[in-house]
Structure 1
Amino acid sequence: MISWTPGDRLVLAANETYWGGKPANSGVVVAFVADDNVRAQRMRAGEFDAAELAPKLAAGFDEQGGYRVQRVPTADYRGVMLPMDNPVLGDLAVRRALNLAVNRQAMVTGVLGGAGEPAFGPVPPSSEFAEASVVGKPSADPAAATAALDAAGWRTARDGIRVKDGRQAAFTLMYPATDSLRKELALAVTADAKKVGIKVTPEGLTWDAITPRMKTDALIMGYGTPYDPDFVSYKLFGSAFAGQGFFNPGSYRSPATDTALQQGRDNADPAVRKAAYAAFQKQLTADAPWVFLTYLQHTYVVKDTVAGVTPRVEPHEHDVANSLWWNVQTWTRKP
């Protein structure tokens, strides 16, 4: 490390005696830019050789000479975490109605610019453990959503918002303010929910403000791994981890889910594990503690002068080791 300015940049020099071989370049400068739009502006200004951008921002470089857009397949999903202790979202009928009301395909087309696919659970379609029976309609089903709310006693008031026992079908949906993609997803969910009489108030916040409210307010979250389902789902949906930070922040508890996850963890037999994770996915669909929205393609913009970039399937947590930068030591600039 040559220098590090917290929140600004990290300057690294090549280790020419590295056991794996001398790097192909002399060093790397990593800039820390949290805001998506600022990152795009600085990329367009020529400050960076490569940057990760939200899909719609990256698409702006498709027709711009001197750049190429890398759309990388992932197991990274976005969804709405629904806290069980919220007085509205604690109602299973509301959670199921939200799952029926959202138009996932429209989100893929409009918000992601086509860089993704609809999501119906935490196990990616590419996984051998994916359960096909949990896949629903990519488009919205407002008639089914309305029927679910009607059956549960949620009646439409004069203002169009449903009410039950004097309480409005209304909740706050948080998202990190600097994440333009999650903001757009929050707005899409808000619009779809309104069509069936559920009032959603989107609120962009810092993570410091979001964290203490996760037990009672909904949140646009992201997780996902292309590896074994146990890696993330055991903690994210297991009762033992309810309310523990970002693992199961909505305090979802289900004995059936716990049993299935434990069976998947404890067994080595592929058939037993496949059955366990199928049971897990079916129970999660029945309980609807999340509204799964989309799987993403991670989108990067790279200057045409950069060579050696080698994409591979990425998880949600795509830091240096798990992102486009995984082999940055082999990157070079074309003359």
Structure 2
Amino acid sequence: MFLFNTTRAPFDDPRARRAIALALDPADIPATLHNGYVPATGYFNPASPFFDPAAPQPAQDKGEAQRLFDELAAEGRPVNFTHLIPQNVDSQKVAEYVQSRLQEFRNVSMKIESLEIGAYIVKYAINKDFQSLLFQQWLVDPEPEVFNMLQSQSPMNYGGWRNPEADAALQAGRAGVDPGVRKKAYADLQRVLAAELPVWVYSQSMAGPVAAKKVTGLEQYTTGCLFMDRLDVS
């Protein structure tokens, strides 16, 4: 995903974030790069019990993207930014792909900053010194990763996004025991994410174990960790 720094220009303006999302098509990335990515339609994988099809992130709309780029430029806020990535071939190719697609528009310019993984982490996680960032999550369950990343006061909210509706949804999802309550909470969160776009997600992730058929009790939590005390061999 693109994680936007919502405390720094140009992405402190939600119109700039929306313009980027509308300019791009997640499905075109694997079609062009043949990298095996499964295009995302929103924050949660459609296979997730928390996925809400009624709250997708905006689909590509080049005309509206250009209108927003032009509107921001007319106000003296052109969408010129540097995108931070870790040094690896796949990340570089995707970043260059996005850069090439944005070159089709007026009043937007993207540079790429590629750093060794340690320097990359220091720059975004410690110094929070970025405009947009390549970020990744693997979620079997939203807790605790989504709360950590998006809750207003979380030290791991690297993009600095603050939204009271999102905070309420995150707290309800964290505190809820009933699956229906949690599903509603994360549906509320997806609605706010689609409206404000602190992130633009372009590829689905999937976390799953590989095991012999005789292994039983494979149950995952959070980012795909296994409950080790439930494993058995038949």
Structure 1 counterpart of 2:64:
144
C-alpha displacement at 1:122, in angstroms? 2.6
Structure 2 counterpart of 1:200:
110
Calculate the TM-score normalised by the size of structure 1. Answer: 0.58
**After TM superposition, where is structure 1 displaced by more than 3 Å over at least 4 residues in a row?**
307-310, 312-319
Instruction: For 1:111 and 1:313, locate their aligned partners in 2 and report how far apart those are by CA, in whole Å.
Output: 34
C-alpha displacement at 1:170, in angstroms? 0.8
C-alpha displacement at 1:221, in angstroms? 1.0
Letter in 2 for 1:97: A
Structure 2 counterpart of 1:237:
150
Letter in 1 for 2:61: D
Instruction: For 2:222 and 2:93, locate their aligned partners in 1 and report how far apart those are by CA, in whole Å.
Output: 18
Q: 1:318 and 1:261, CA in 2 relative to 1: closer, same or farther beyond 3 A?
A: closer
Instruction: For 1:225 and 1:297, locate their aligned partners in 2 and report how far apart those are by CA, in whole Å.
Output: 8
Instruction: For 1:250 and 1:126, locate their aligned partners in 2 and report how far apart those are by CA, in whole Å.
Output: 26
Question: Of the candidates 25, 46, 50, which is equivalent to residue 125 of structure 1?
Answer: 46
Supply the RMSD in Å over aligned alpha carbons.
3.0
Instruction: For 2:175 and 2:85, locate their aligned partners in 1 and report how far apart those are by CA, in whole Å.
Output: 35
More helix by share: 2
Structure 1 counterpart of 2:32:
110
1:223 aligns with 2:137: yes
For residues 244-301 of structure 1, give each alpha carbon's deviation from its aligned partner in whole angstroms, at most 9, with x where no partner exists. Answer: 3xx2211111111000010111122222221111000110111111111111468xxx
Structure 2 counterpart of 1:170:
80
Instruction: For 1:109 and 1:274, locate their aligned partners in 2 and report how far apart those are by CA, in whole Å.
Output: 32
Structure 2 counterpart of 1:154:
73
Structure 2 counterpart of 1:184:
93
C-alpha displacement at 1:83, in angstroms? 0.4
Instruction: For 2:224 and 2:173, locate their aligned partners in 1 and report how far apart those are by CA, in whole Å.
Output: 25
Q: 1:90 and 1:216, CA in 2 relative to 1: closer, same or farther beyond 3 A?
A: farther
Contact 2:16 2:69 in 1 (8 A): yes
Partner-residue secondary structure (3-state), 1:172: strand
Structure 2 counterpart of 1:5:
none
Please identify, of 251-260 and 204-213, the stretch whose mean Cα deviation from structure 2 is larger.
204-213
Contact 2:16 2:72 in 1 (8 A): no
Letter in 2 for 1:176: P
Structure 1 counterpart of 2:160:
251
Q: 1:107 and 1:133, CA in 2 relative to 1: closer, same or farther beyond 3 A?
A: same
Instruction: For 1:237 and 1:133, locate their aligned partners in 2 and report how far apart those are by CA, in whole Å.
Output: 21
Partner-residue secondary structure (3-state), 1:219: strand
For residues 9-41 of structure 1, give each alpha carbon's deviation from its aligned partner in whole angstroms, at most 9, with x where no partner exists. Answer: xxxxxxxxxxxxxxxxxxxxxxxxxxxxxxxxx
Larger-gyration structure (1/2): 1
Contact 1:171 1:201 in 2 (8 A): yes
Letter in 2 for 1:224: W
Partner-residue secondary structure (3-state), 1:133: coil
Instruction: For 1:250 and 1:185, locate their aligned partners in 2 and report how far apart those are by CA, in whole Å.
Output: 21
Partner-residue secondary structure (3-state), 1:230: coil
Q: 1:315 and 1:176, CA in 2 relative to 1: closer, same or farther beyond 3 A?
A: farther
Q: 1:126 and 1:112, CA in 2 relative to 1: closer, same or farther beyond 3 A?
A: farther
Q: 1:318 and 1:276, CA in 2 relative to 1: closer, same or farther beyond 3 A?
A: closer
Contact 1:84 1:216 in 2 (8 A): no
Q: Percent identity?
A: 24
Instruction: For 1:176 and 1:316, locate their aligned partners in 2 and report how far apart those are by CA, in whole Å.
Output: 24
Instruction: For 1:317 and 1:182, locate their aligned partners in 2 and report how far apart those are by CA, in whole Å.
Output: 21
Q: 1:273 and 1:296, CA in 2 relative to 1: closer, same or farther beyond 3 A?
A: closer
Q: 1:273 and 1:220, CA in 2 relative to 1: closer, same or farther beyond 3 A?
A: same
Instruction: For 1:196 and 1:252, locate their aligned partners in 2 and report how far apart those are by CA, in whole Å.
Output: 26
Instruction: For 2:219 and 2:73, locate their aligned partners in 1 and report how far apart those are by CA, in whole Å.
Output: 43
Q: 1:316 and 1:186, CA in 2 relative to 1: closer, same or farther beyond 3 A?
A: farther
Q: What residue ranges of structure 2 are gaps of 5+ in the alignment?
A: none
Structure 2 counterpart of 1:94:
16
